[in-house]
Structure 1
Amino acid sequence: MAVSIEKTSTGTATITWSHQTDDPRGYLSEEVESGRLEDALTAIGASTIEGLGTTADVRRIAQATTRIQALLERRMRGIAVELRTQGLTWSELADALYGDSAKRSSAQRTYEAGMRQRGLTPQT
């Protein structure tokens, strides 16, 4: 993994990546430079949602979180296709994606969405 996070002290870390090899499409750079990564991490770390600030703050944080969630969902679908192509069973894929081997139908739906995302017909 080329993207690295160095924990420099309690509550402090440095994220490092290469634009050319780790982020050739610029997705990570865009999320960092726009402040959306910071906003989404704020949502994760908040002790309560009510404590996130003004309506404008919460709205901005919601938009950032939704954007990053969509990017990650798209990537998860691609990962599901790749893992299935590498031979994982539905149970193994469910465990890899959801930490629960019983969620086979959820894993299958994610795989099928990934196939459609690639413009391919899902093959189960």
Structure 2
Amino acid sequence: MKRFIAVILAIIYMSTAMGATVHLHYCMGKLTEWRLGDSKDDLCDTCGMKKAKAGEQLSKKNCCKDEFKELKLKKDQRVPENSQPFAFAPLPATPVAIFTLPVVPVTSLAVVFPVAKAPPGISGAPVFLLNCNFRI
């Protein structure tokens, strides 16, 4: 669901960032047709007369004209004009204090205070010395 919403938002953002051109065709002063993009036709589909290009004046014989409108954001993610940038005040130099903690050995309470009559823990002496088994 999150991925679907992210895709939809990306499509909306990309369409406004890239923009689109809307082609409007007026015949006899009324909007008869609109398209996304440019029209290659030179003749009107409604009355069959030659179309006037954008910016041309309508003559008495020419009743059709085309207009192009661009739908696009002019500035992407623009900053409002009334916003003030943050003014950072210089900070005085503060001394850095370094604290060192003493190293405390950690041992298990079961080893320090044995409650059960268990065998002793593993020592560094070899087994034959612990059992007094000397073979020649």
Structure with a larger share of its residues in strand = 2
- Regarding TM over 0.5, the answer is no
Q: Is the radius of gyration larger for structure 1 or structure 2?
A: 2
Q: TM-score, normalised by structure 1?
A: 0.22
Give the TM-score normalised by structure 2: 0.21
